[in-house]
Amino acid sequence: MEGRNHSSDSLASNSSNSKLGRDSASSSRGSAVKSLSSSTSASNEYFPDFDSKVTIKEPSIVDSPTPLLTGEKIQGAARDVTYLCPFIGPVRGALTVTNYKIYFRSSDREPPFILDVPLGVVSRIEKMGGASSRGENSYGIELICKDLRNLRFAHKQENHSRRNVFEKLQQHAFPLSHRMGLFAFEFKEEYPENGWTMYEPVAELKRQGLPNESWRITKLNENYDICDSYPAVWAVPAAATDEELRYVASFRSRGRLPVLSWIHPESQATITRCSQPLVGVSGKRSRDDERYVQLILDANAQSHKLFIMDARPSGYESEDAYQNAELVFMDIHNIHVMRESLRKIKEICFPTVDDVHWLSAIESTHWLEHIKCILSGAVRIVDKVENHRTSVIVHCSDGWDRTAQLTAIALLLLDPYYRTLRGFQVIIEKEWLSFGHKFAQRIGHGDDRHSDADRSPVFLQFIDCVWQVTRQFPSAFEFNELECTGFGEFEGDEKRINTNQGRSESFDNKFKF
């Protein structure tokens, strides 16, 4: 297929032999970078030239004692504040609050100690001490952050500075809770490339060699009336009619029927994703759904078996309803278990834990156990597709949390394109944003309801998994953990919402790349 060279670059090859655990940095099969630099192993159409990749323009900084982005404004400030650093001890200086960040600059050190924290990373804000507090540095403000940091700033009571800083922090860290707009709408920086058009679904499907005799591209959902949390463009079995797609959607949770995520360039084995079928405890069945799953199996002439990978520990789905299909449970826990695991991680990170108890404390959080489970599930998918040439259907309950984790990581291992800088952006747009991961609910941008039951580190776990893979195969990636910038798409829960917001003038200019 034009533009795709798969065999020499897949991290998936021999995944059944625990390839993830082997050091293959020097191997041509595990190195996207090596393929990118070779004129014979991959086409220029498929892999962008490293020397001609997109230029990333740094946001301009307004000349000010407190560096400001375009659209950023100072909202409050306090002098003679002490930052209680857990590593180097108390640091005296000045604290500035803008509509984007909190900025602390020391006054007693040279070079100055600087702390620059975007307010979007703040989970909650609390006051330390009261009017009767007498201990040194016992009166002030504490910021509990989403990135595991706790930031403490001590104020002097006689300065009467805490109240104003606290109020400004509350307003601008949680603007939605105060009926204010997000800073994203104030940021007017211009970039050389329009990031809204960076991912084009039809172009991405064509890159994968679609449509073909077995799969077609449909815009049946372009008005989001079949499924409001799905993308407008799908790839579905060619033999499935639009009417059948509607029937199948009615039997799947929230209308999220199986649609294609990726197709193997040689074997035509596929990864499709969806939500759970609505079988219930009574074991309801749908002939339309069963026939549709059979069409997915039939589209792969290399295999007469299909694997249904359920991300959950258990479910009501039965193999009896789907001929030639094997049901596998991945044992990945729900958002509430993951939220509790992250809470435990935060507890052992601040205050610090003695080195003697560090490993046991980490183990008690089960965080790494969850990461291992997600990675293992993705490797099982990869093994079925790459080594057994078998198609796989992946789902959880609604198909926008654990399913996104599994499909995105599996694609990252299977296809070297997704390990390039642009490809990684595409995979996030494709597998997370367009398929309706609820970023706003899970992360809580601009919302002060830090204990909301919908909060969960689902995307954070994905990033952790990617980091684990980049640590094992650094030369297979065009990027590392420094690839981090501002993206406008993460403000909403669904592609439908982001599309409507993203076309407004105020929003369209803010994060064009």
Please list, in sequence order, all residues whose beta carbon lies within 8 angstroms of the beta carbon of residue 399, skipping any fewer than 6 positions away.
253, 254, 256, 273, 274, 275, 276, 435
CA distance 384 to 271: 10
242 belongs to an annotated ligand binding site: no
> What one-letter code names the amino acid at 140?
G
CA distance 300 to 239: 13
223 belongs to an annotated ligand binding site: no
Q: Residue 499 corresponds to which tokens in the numbers above? A: 């599309």
With beta carbons less than 8 A apart as the criterion, state whether 507 and 501 touch: yes
Q: Does 85 participate in catalysis according to the annotation? A: no
CA distance 42 to 265: 14
* Other Cβ atoms within 10 Å of 172 Cβ, number: 25
Residue given tokens 């589209």 in the structure block: 299
- Please identify which of the residues 145, 227, 274, 396 carries the catalytic annotation: 396
**Cα→Cα distances 317→211, 329, 330, 400, Å:** 30, 10, 14, 18
401 belongs to an annotated ligand binding site: yes
Q: Residue 267 corresponds to which tokens in the numbers above? A: 């074997």
HSE-up of residue 259 (Cα within 13 Å, Cβ side): 31
320 belongs to an annotated ligand binding site: no
484 belongs to an annotated ligand binding site: no
With beta carbons less than 8 A apart as the criterion, state whether 408 and 272 touch: no
HSE-up of residue 214 (Cα within 13 Å, Cβ side): 18
398 belongs to an annotated ligand binding site: yes
415 belongs to an annotated ligand binding site: no
The Cα angle at residue 61 between residues 58 and 62, in degrees rounded to 5? 155
Q: Residue 170 corresponds to which tokens in the numbers above? A: 């509350």
Burial of 16 (0-12, 13-18, 19+ CB in 10 A): middle
CA distance 461 to 484: 16
Active site residues: 396
**Which residue numbers belong to the known binding site?**
334-335, 396-402
**Which residue numbers belong to the known binding site for substrate?**
334-335, 396-402
